[in-house]
Structure 1
Amino acid sequence: MRVEKNPERGVILLAGGESRRMGRDKFLLPFKGESMGCRILRRLKGIGNPVIVAGAGLSCETRGIPVVSDRYPGQGPLAGIHAGLSVSTCGPNLVVACDMPFASPELARLLFSRSEGVDAVVPQDGERTHPLFAVYQRRCLPVLERRLYCRERRVTDFLQELRVGYVDREEMESCANPDRALFNMNRPREWSRALSFVEQSEETGHREVREKSGE
C-alpha cells in the first residue's frame, strides 16, 4: 500500500494499547480482507504524513511507514499522542484510534480546516467529545510531557489545558455521518456490528445495481 503524503499535515494512528475488552490486537483485527490498521490507513490515504504509534508490527513498517514506541509505556492513548507528535515534522496532526473502521477523510479535512489559532480541534456530539479522532498541534508537546511525567494520563484533563476548537454535529453532518465516522470498537460485539454495517451497505449497493440494470 503506497501512502501519499501531505507535508503540512500529519496523521498519527494509535496502534498500541492492551485491547483488554477486545481480547486481541485491534490493529491486526481482520476486516473485510485487510487488517483494521491498514483499512484505516487506506481510508485516510493522502490526508497527511503517516506515523504509526506503538505495536503496529512490521507489516506496515516495511511499507515505508515509520513505527514509534511510547516513551511513557502503560499510560494509554495520551502516551501514543505524545510519541507521534514527538516524531512528526508537521504542525497540525490528526490523531486516530486504531478501532475506527469508518474513519472519514472528509471529516479529517474539516478538522484540519479549523486548526489555525487553536491547539486542538475535537468533534463534539452533544455532551460527548471524541478526542481520539481529533487534530492536535505539535506545540502541545510540553503539556503532554509534563502530564505524562506526573502520570496524569486522562485525555479529557489534557484538553482542559489547551485552546480547543470544537466541531459540533451540525458541522460534521455537512461532510460525514458522525454516527458512522466516529464509530469505535472496544468489544467483539462492536467488531461484529461494524462488519454487519459493511455487509448491509454492500447488499444495498448490489441491489441498486440490479435494479438499475433491470435484473
Structure 2
Amino acid sequence: MLNIANITGAILAGGKSSRMGENKALLHYSGKPFIQHIAETLKPACSHVIVISDRHEYAFLDLPMYADIIHDAGPLGGIHSALTHATTSMIFVLSCDTPFVTTALVQEILSQAHPDKITIAKDDANSHPLIGVYPKNILAELDSHLSNGNRSVYSFLHWHTDRLTTLDLNRFADQLRNINTKTDYDLLR
C-alpha cells in the first residue's frame, strides 16, 4: 500500500449538477450530505483532504477549499486544481456524487496503485476515472491537454494509457455507483 503521508484526498464538487437540478453534494443519504460521507471516507486513508469547489456551502466540512484554476473544464479541471494545490505526490479523487464508496474500497485501490501511474476503478460495465489515484507528476501533461481545449477525462486517459492502471473491482460495483439524476436519487429512498 502507498504511504498515506503522500496522498491527498480530493473531493470534486465544482460541477453544475445540471442533470440533477440541484447541488448533488448536498443531497442526503443515511442522514448526511453526500459530500460529508465522502470526506469521512477519505480522512482515514489520506493525510489531507481538500474540496475542489468555489461554493461556500461546504464550509461546514472545515476542509481547505480550492476553486478550479481553469474554469469550465469539468472534472478534468478539478483534477488539475487538486494536483496543483496538493502538497503530496498523489491525490485520491472522488466526485461528490459517489456516497457509497467506503474507506475499505479506497484502501483497496491504494494497495494496488503505483506511485507514478494513474490508477482508476472499473466494474463490468464502466471505468470510473473519478474514483482513483492521480500522481502529481502528470501535471505538466494535464496542463498541456487542457490548454489545447481538451476537457474530457476519458480523452486524457486515452492518450496516457502507458501511465494508466485500471483495477477490476466488480466486487465493489455497488460502491462505484454515482448519483446523477433525480431518478437515481429517488431509488435511494
2:185 aligned with 1:191, yes or no? yes
For the 8 Å contact 1:92–1:112, the answer to whether it is kept is no
Residues 87-106 of structure 1 correspond to what in structure 2 (within 5 A)? 87-106=85-104
CA distance in 2, matches of 1:123, 1:79: 20
What is the RMSD of the two structures over their aligned residues, measured on CA atoms?
Answer: 1.8
CA distance in 2, matches of 1:12, 1:117: 16
* 1:27 counterpart residue number: 25
Q: Secondary structure of the residue that 1:50 maps to in structure 2?
A: strand
For the 8 Å contact 1:44–1:103, the answer to whether it is kept is no
2:51 aligned with 1:52, yes or no? yes
Q: Post-superposition shift, 1:28? A: 1.5
* 117 and 150 in structure 1: CA distance in 2 versus 1, 3 angstrom threshold: same
Q: Secondary structure of the residue that 1:70 maps to in structure 2?
A: coil
Q: Post-superposition shift, 1:129? A: 0.9
For the 8 Å contact 2:123–2:173, the answer to whether it is kept is no
CA distance in 2, matches of 1:59, 1:123: 26
* 1:136 counterpart residue number: 134
For the 8 Å contact 2:36–2:61, the answer to whether it is kept is no
CA distance in 2, matches of 1:72, 1:12: 16
Q: Secondary structure of the residue that 1:51 maps to in structure 2?
A: strand
For the 8 Å contact 2:20–2:180, the answer to whether it is kept is yes
* 181 and 156 in structure 1: CA distance in 2 versus 1, 3 angstrom threshold: same
Question: Highest CA radius of gyration, 1 or 2?
Answer: 1
Structure 1 ranges of 4+ moved more than 6 A: none
How big is each residue's C-alpha offset from its partner over 1:20-46, in whole Å with a ceiling of 9 and x where there is no partner?
100011111233322111121123331
Bigger mean CA offset, 113-122 vs 141-150 = 113-122
Identity of aligned residues (%): 28
CA distance in 1, matches of 2:12, 2:115: 25
* 1:160 counterpart residue number: 158
Structure 2: which 5+ runs fail to align? Answer: none
Q: Secondary structure of the residue that 1:131 maps to in structure 2?
A: strand
User: Structure with the greater relative contact order (CA < 8 A, sep ≥ 6): 1 or 2?
Assistant: 2
TM-score, normalised with respect to structure 2: 0.89
